[in-house]
Every structure is written in C-alpha cells, then in structure tokens.
Amino acid sequence: MYGKFQEHLQSEIAAIKEAGLYKKERTICSPQGAEITLADGSKALNFCANNYLGLADNKRLIEAAKKAMDERGFGMSSVRFICGKQDLHEKLEKAISDYFHTEDTILYAACFDANGGVFEPLLTAEDAIISDALNHASIIDGVRLCKAVRYRYANADMEDLERCLKEAQAQRFRIICTDGVFSMDGNVAPMDKICDLAEKYDALVMVDESHSAGVVGPTGHGVAEQFGLYGRIDIFTGTLGKSFGGAVGGFTTGRKEIIEMLRQRSRPYLFSNSLPPMLCAAGIELFKILSEGNELHDRQQENVAYFSEKMIAAGFDIHPTQSAICAVMLYDPILAGNFAAEMAKENIFVTSFTYPVVPKGKDRIRVQLSAAHTREQLDKAIAAFVKVGKKLGVIK
C-alpha cells in the first residue's frame, strides 16, 4: 500500500518546494540567546526568537528548574484528575492569576492546547464565537472543535466586529476572541473598543496574550494593563514559551467558574500529561523575577524604539509597531526571501514572511527585539540591514 501513498507525498513535497514554501531548520548548539552558536561552530545574532525578555538562558530559572528536578523528580507520568498535582502546579497557577489580576488559572502543556481546549467545554451549537481574521492557528483550531456558530471579522476592524455582534444576537451566548498582539504586523488589538462593544452587545471577551504578555502595557502585564481593563476581560490564554522563560507550557486564566468548568471538561487538560515539576518551579521563579522590577521590559521597549528609529532613518519602511515585533516591509516575495538569505550570510538571523502567511504584496522581514540584545548587537544588525538593503536596491 505505501508505494502509492509515498508517491503522493513525494509529489506534494516537491510542490511545496517549488512554491518556495518548504521549511528548513537550522541546528543550534548553544543556549537560546541574543547570540547563538550553530552546528559548524559559527556564531550568529538571533533576531527571530520570541525570547522577548531574554530569559531563555536565565540563571535563576535554570537553578530553580534543577532544584525542583532534584527534589521532585523528572515528570508526573499522569494527568491531574487521576494522580493529582504537586503544590508547584498550584503555586504557578496562583502566580499567573496574580500577574493577570484574575480569579483562577488552569495549566496546559502549551498555549496551543489552552486554545484548543477553551471553547468546546464552554459553548454549544446555541452559541456564537466571533473571531478576528488574523487570530493564531491554535484559536482557529479551537473554534473548529466547538459546535458554536462562527463569525469572522477583519483584523482589528471594529465596524466589522459590530456587524458580527448584531448578526450573533440570535444566539444564546456570544464570545469575542482575539490575539493581544498580532504576530505579523506587531499591532495590538483595540481591547478598549472590543470591551465596549462586548458590553453593548452582551458578549464575553477572550484574549490570547502569547505575544503581548511581558511586552505590552506600562509594566508589560499585557493588554488589560495597557487599556485599564482589569475585570472586563473574561478569559486570557498565554504561553510560558515566549516572554515567560521560553520553555514550554500554556495557561488559561480568568473567571472562577470558567476555569472550574475547564478543569472538568477541557480535553487537552483531562487527557494530556501535567507540566513537569521543573517547569512549574521555573515558572514560579519567573513571576518572582518579574515582580522584582521592570528593567527587562524597559530594556526591551528601548531596543524596539532604538531599532525602529535607526531603520526609518536609514530609509526602510517599518510597519508601525506597539510590541516587540518589527516588520520591515519589502512588498515582494522573492526580494524578502533573498533579503533574509543575505542577512544570514552577515550572521544575522531574521525571518522573511511571504504569501500565504501575509497578504499578497505585503512581503516582509520580521525582526523580533529582545531585552537580551545589546546596543552593539542592535548596531550590527542595523549595519547589516543597510548593507543588504543597498545591495538589493531597497534603500539608496
């Protein structure tokens, strides 16, 4: 049987390559950080990680994880409703609730699971989910797993959201769901307007803080802090894999009864292993670090401002950003691909994004700034952008 199926896969893979969409992976042989070492021993500056606060190689997190591994072992070998949890899981859930000013939190193996398991337990075919068109794949999959009626509004378009809310008045309950920061443009969802519309049209609000937590808001506590919306957002989901240390782990945090119901019915929680104790301990330490001061967040913000300003002065077209994501617009798929390849030759890692990941003609290089980047490293990256930009005729 495999012969025919193998031929089918080989031709599909060839088509992916032909379309220029084949994904290759480089091999890193050092900790994740501003500077990384590759398998051949060469070094490069990394501007494509979600390591926004530079904590992926943080000594305190590593120590906390090691200590927990010595004291609590390697893994839980179970799901929580069968074997229970450790106090470390409870403490991490409490730390997340405190950080987001919410009532309770439920941990998942990843935010992909949090989003996959949030809608189906709460809503039925009588209800409506109203989703931003640019929401993350995991929200889209979570919505697909739920029988609620689906509505989709254009990215951050409040008129279009209002149209959906009017149409959805026929349903029993309505929920608006959105990313906090959209990962292609780096724009922040207009949460104040979303919450106002939610109130007017009697809808719940859910936001995925994966790219916004640790970054957005005066002290980086996310969109509720940014817009002064504590108590008005019903559900937050997020990841421990970006600003919050960069390992793995996800969570849903929000109203007490919502979290209580998820513990009873959310399938990625019920039927998947609980987080290993070392990740819980590192997570607890992470929120302690964040509570001690705002330096990492401030440095991250300064780095975005510095980088954008210098790039605009050099003549690049930078998409206005409100996050750690800086899109250098090139408007051509081949140019964007070549640009990223030329940057790699300069030992600067940035990612090109082309259709269908971004709209046709909106091809770009995405740069992700971190608190870990030094001024000198930013200057090196900017110099490489200028060199490649001139070579490829993007700037004069």
Ligand X SMILES: *Cc1c(COP(=O)(O)O)cnc(C)c1O
Q: Which residues are catalytic?
A: 183, 211, 242
Determine the Cα–Cα distance for residues 219 and 181; give it in Å rounded to an integer.
16
Q: Which is nearer to ligand X, 176 or 378 (CB)?
A: 176
Q: Which two tokens stand for residue 34?
A: 């501003």
Instruction: Tell me which stretch binds ligand X (CB under 6 A): 145-153, 203-211, 282-290, 387-395.
Output: 203-211
Q: How many other CB atoms are there within 10 angstroms of residue 219's CB atom? A: 14
Q: Which two tokens stand for residue 382?
A: 């900017």
Cα atoms in the 13 Å half-sphere on the side-chain side of 282: 25
Residue 241 binds ligand X, judged by CB under 6 A: yes
What are φ and ψ of residue 383, in 5° steps? -60, -40
Residue 210 binds ligand X, judged by CB under 6 A: yes
Q: Which is nearer to ligand X, 107 or 311 (CB)?
A: 107
Q: How far is the CB of 233 from ligand X (least distance, A)?
A: 15
Q: Which two tokens stand for residue 140?
A: 């889209």
Instruction: Tell me which stretch binds ligand X (CB under 6 A): 29-37, 105-113, 168-176, 184-192.
Output: 105-113
Measured at the alpha carbon of residue 122, what is the angle toward residues 117 and 123, in degrees to the nearest 5? Answer: 110
Determine the Cα–Cα distance for residues 350 and 325; give it in Å rounded to an integer.
11
Query: Would you give the binding string for ligand X spanning residues 1-40, x where CB under 6 A is met?
Result: ----------------------------------------
Q: Is 147 helix (H, G, I), strand (E, B) or coil?
A: coil
Site residues for ligand X, 150-189, by CB under 6 A, read 179, 183
DSSP 318: B
Q: How far is the CB of 275 from ligand X (least distance, A)?
A: 11
Total chain residues near ligand X (CB under 6 A): 14
* Host H or E run for residue 321: none
What are φ and ψ of residue 61, in 5° steps? -65, -40
Contact between residue 207 and residue 347 where contact means Cβ atoms under 8 Å apart: no
Q: Which is nearer to ligand X, 241 or 276 (CB)?
A: 241
Instruction: Tell me which stretch binds ligand X (CB under 6 A): 104-112, 122-130, 225-233, 286-294.
Output: 104-112
Q: How far is the CB of 113 from ligand X (least distance, A)?
A: 7
Q: How far is the CB of 215 from ligand X (least distance, A)?
A: 12
Q: How far is the CB of 272 from ligand X (least distance, A)?
A: 12
Cα atoms in the 13 Å half-sphere on the side-chain side of 106: 28
Going by their DSSP bridges, the two strands 250-254 and 104-108 should be labelled as antiparallel
Q: How many other CB atoms are there within 10 angstroms of residue 23's CB atom? A: 5
Residue 112 binds ligand X, judged by CB under 6 A: yes
Residue 266 binds ligand X, judged by CB under 6 A: no
Who's near 288: CB < 8 A, 6+ residues apart?
Answer: 95
Query: Would you give the binding string for ligand X spanning residues 46-85, x where CB under 6 A is met?
Result: ----------------------------------------
Q: How far is the CB of 250 from ligand X (least distance, A)?
A: 4
Q: Which is nearer to ligand X, 350 or 382 (CB)?
A: 350
Contact between residue 187 and residue 325 where contact means Cβ atoms under 8 Å apart: no
Nearest to 121 by CA among 246, 264, 24: 264
Determine the Cα–Cα distance for residues 365 and 318; give it in Å rounded to an integer.
10
Task: State which amino acid sits at residue 259.
Answer: I
Instruction: Tell me which stretch binds ligand X (CB under 6 A): 166-174, 208-216, 314-322, 335-343.
Output: 208-216
Residue choice 93, 127, 185, 208 for contact with ligand X (CB under 6 A) = 208
Determine the Cα–Cα distance for residues 377 and 123; give it in Å rounded to an integer.
48
Residue choice 85, 89, 174, 211 for contact with ligand X (CB under 6 A) = 211
Q: How far is the CB of 111 from ligand X (least distance, A)?
A: 3
Site residues for ligand X, 293-352, by CB under 6 A, read none
User: Interface residues with ligand X (CB under 6 A)?
Assistant: 110-112, 115, 136, 138, 179, 183, 208, 210-211, 239, 241, 250
